[in-house]
Amino acid sequence: MTSAPQAPQASSQGNVIRPYGDTTGDGMVQMSFTLPLPHDKLAEGAALQLARKMGLDPAMLVHAKPMGPDFTFFVVYGSTTHLVNLDDVHVVEREYPLLSAKDANLAIRKQLRRKLVVVGACIGTDAHTVGIDAILNIKGFAGEKGLEYYREIRVVNLGAQVLVPDLVARARAEKADAVLVSQVVTQKDAHIHNTTQMSAAFREAYPAGQVPVLIVGGPRFEDGSESTLGVDRIFGRGTTPGEVASYLVHEIGLRKGKK
Ligand code: B12
């Protein structure tokens, strides 16, 4: 009979854990990468050298597949020599309560005495609209209705491949309280370049202190990089519409309090 994995035995060495493969704490991990080499023995040796340098020892080559004539894709499995100290893991905790749609509507009405206006888009060349639609469209995501369902939120969804100047112009025309941008493609750091360009354009177009709440979302933003990107909030993988609505209520409340 196969037994289920044991919980990590962290306490004896401080709060330290290792990955699990066959037996608890054996350190086994699997990773994949592509090298700019045709598939041959030299390429396989190069893949193993890279794996060892990345701390896999022993490292086993479990898959190698040519990707055209000049590239090879590898999967390597091995025991990592690195440890994870849970005491050194810093997590960004949500600092506002999660509200139901009813409570969010009530709070918006109390704070603004009008509807909260949200303008959303995928910017740059990005055409991945499923994420922003999951947050905005009435059908929602993960069992939660999207922001269009909220009586006190007016949603303007501009869709895919929106140019930054068009987004700024529309946000101004709609008197947006918040601008929600999605970036899924991360090739050549496109998500970072597009987001910093977008936030700079908003700062230029609005008087200081009047820039709408700028929110960016996508599966591969780094937690805590808001100030580098020039946005107020980042939402990542698995975000639900309720989390976004609750944040909007929290942020609008803070801004009202400052006026
Ligand atoms: C569906 C899909 C497509 C569809 C998109 C259809 C559409 N209308 O969206 C099509 C076929 C068009 C497509 C095309 C391409 N795709 Co594509 N695609 C995917 C796929 C399979 C799923 C993405 C998805 O819908 N996820 C589900 C949603 C719900 O998740 P999400 O986007 O992460 O959104 C959640 C959160 O991130 C967050 N969120 C996201 N945005 C926002 C915004 C705000 C404001 C907030 C608050 C939250 C938030 O909330 C959402 C809900 O929790 C992924 C692979 C994968 N499994 O992820 C590849 C993937 C994203 N695509 C990829 C690529 C490379 C492409 C193409 C370049 C392929 C090509 N060579 O042509 C083109 C690019 C087209 C373009 N111009 O953008 C790569 C991106 C690689 C990278 N790191 O950059 C991926 C990762 C596939 C891969 N492994 O290579 N794609």
Kindly report, residue by residue over 139-158, the tens digit of the pLDDT.
999 999 999 999 999 999 99
Q: Is the pLDDT of residue 9 over 70?
A: no
Q: What is the pLDDT of residue 257?
A: 79
- Assigned token pair, 13: 């060495």
Residues 26 and 78 sit within 8 Å (Cβ to Cβ)? no
What residues act catalytically?
Answer: 139
27 lines ligand 1 (CB under 6 A): no
Sequence letter at residue 78: G
- Assigned token pair, 11: 């306490």
Map tokens 């922001």 to a residue.
147
User: 11 pLDDT band (50/70/90 cuts)?
Assistant: very low
* Mean pLDDT value across residues 249-257: 92
243 lines ligand 1 (CB under 6 A): no
Q: What is the pLDDT of residue 17?
A: 95
Nearest residue (by CA) to ligand 1, atom 36, is 237
Domain boundaries, given as residue ranges, for the chain: 16-88, 101-258
Nearest residue (by CA) to ligand 1, atom 64, is 185
The atom of ligand 1 lying closest to the CA of 240 is: 53
Q: Is the pLDDT of residue 5 over 60?
A: no
Q: Is the pLDDT of residue 92 over 90?
A: no
CATH, range 16-88: 3.30.30.60
Q: What is the pLDDT of residue 24?
A: 93
- Span 59-74, pLDDT tens digits: 999 999 999 999 999 9
Cis status of the peptide bond prior to 38, with omega within 30 of 0:
no
- Span 109-137, pLDDT tens digits: 999 999 999 999 999 999 999 999 999 99
Q: From residue 209, how far is each of 205, 213, 252 by CA, in Å?
A: 12, 10, 13
Q: Is the pLDDT of residue 186 over 50?
A: yes
34 lines ligand 1 (CB under 6 A): no
Mutate-to-test residue for ligand 1 from 163, 182, 184, highest number of ligand atoms within 8 A of CB: 184
User: 2 pLDDT band (50/70/90 cuts)?
Assistant: very low
- Span 197-246, pLDDT tens digits: 999 999 999 999 999 999 999 999 998 899 999 999 999 999 999 999 99
CATH fold, domain 101-258, is Rossmann fold (3.40.50)
182 lines ligand 1 (CB under 6 A): yes
